[in-house]
Amino acid sequence: MPYTPAPDLLHHRIILVTGAGQGLGRAAALACARHGATLILLGRTVGKLEKVYDEIIAAGGAQPAIFPMDLGAARDEDFQAMAQAIGAQLGRLDGIAHCAAAFEALRPQSLESVEEWLRLFRVNAAAPAAINRCCAPLLEARGDASVVLVGETHGHTPAAYWGGFAVSKAALEAYFRVQADEWSDRGPRINLLIPGPARSPQRAKTHPGEDKSALPGPDDLAARFLYLLGPDSRDVRGQVLHGAAERDET
């Protein structure tokens, strides 16, 4: 049964969205804003974040904050400074949607480099863990905070030619299971969403000749974020959720 969120589902909630400048991150940010949240838009490209900012304001949403950051280059002190800025400027944090992702290309592992693998790991696995670690005090103070990690089909079930991307997303899923276990009886709830095939910038790279008209778009998946970030899922934690609800795993 499709989920229908209340119009004010996220009223008075502050949500950080990474990768907010395009694709799934943009869709999640706009959906959260439409349902009352105040957004922190994090991404590498300021111009893209500003466009999302303008869309939120034009639609009557609360004024977002913009936080430019290259997750492939950020260090511990950068993540700590981000968390401190959120605490100082906004006073709290109710949820995080980790939508940022790095992808190189489909190719044999023999053609991949150490530098490419390290960037994939930094963006796809290390950065979400670092953001959660630095923001944990803000999240724990809220009582009903929610963290949503975005996994990937080939991280869940690796296959040939997905190389470092699949391995880095598998590392994210391993991190998720460790963190979910540590937060199992206290603190924020954390879940992993695997969107599946969708009309996204990454899909355009991996399947350039595909007819994508039948695939769900980022906006079609936004309800998943609303559900997981809002109070209706307060008892949902430590779950792997897929684009189709019937395939969800505990």
Query: Across residues 242-249, what is the average pLDDT?
Result: 57
Question: What span, in angstroms and rounded, lies between the C-alpha atoms of 233 and 65?
Answer: 26
Residue 57 has pLDDT above 70, yes or no: yes
Helix (H, G, I), strand (E, B) or coil at 228: helix
Q: Tell me how far apart the terminal alpha carbons of the chain are, to the nearest angstrom.
A: 19
What pLDDT does residue 60 have?
97
Categorize the per-residue pLDDT at 148 as very low, low, confident or very high, splitting at 50, 70 and 90.
Answer: very high
Whether the per-residue pLDDT at 233 is higher than 90: the answer is yes
C-alpha to C-alpha distance for 202 and 83, rounded to whole angstroms: 28
Residue-level pLDDT at 154: 86
Note the pLDDT of residue 3: 82
Which pLDDT belongs to residue 246?
Answer: 39
CATH superfamily of domain region 14-245: NAD(P)-binding Rossmann-like Domain (3.40.50.720)
Give pLDDT, residue 216: 58
Task: Return d(Cα 78, Cα 62) in angstroms, integer.
Answer: 26
Close Cβ partners of 60 (under 8 Å, ≥ 6 residues apart):
none
**Amino acid sitting at position 46:** V
Q: Which amino acid is at 74?
A: A
Share of the chain above pLDDT 70, in %: 88
The Cα–Cα gap between 186 and 177 comes to 15
- What residue segments make up the domains of the chain, in order of their start? 14-245
Residue 127 to residue 100: CA distance in whole angstroms: 9
Q: How far apart are CA 96 and CA 15, in angstroms?
A: 6
Provide the pLDDT confidence category of residue 158 given band limits of 50, 70 and 90: confident
Please give the share of the chain, as a percent, with pLDDT higher than 90.
73
pLDDT tens digits along 92-120: 999 999 999 999 888 999 999 999 999 99
Q: pTM of the full predicted structure? A: 0.90
**Could you tell me which residues are beta bridge partners of residue 149?**
98, 192
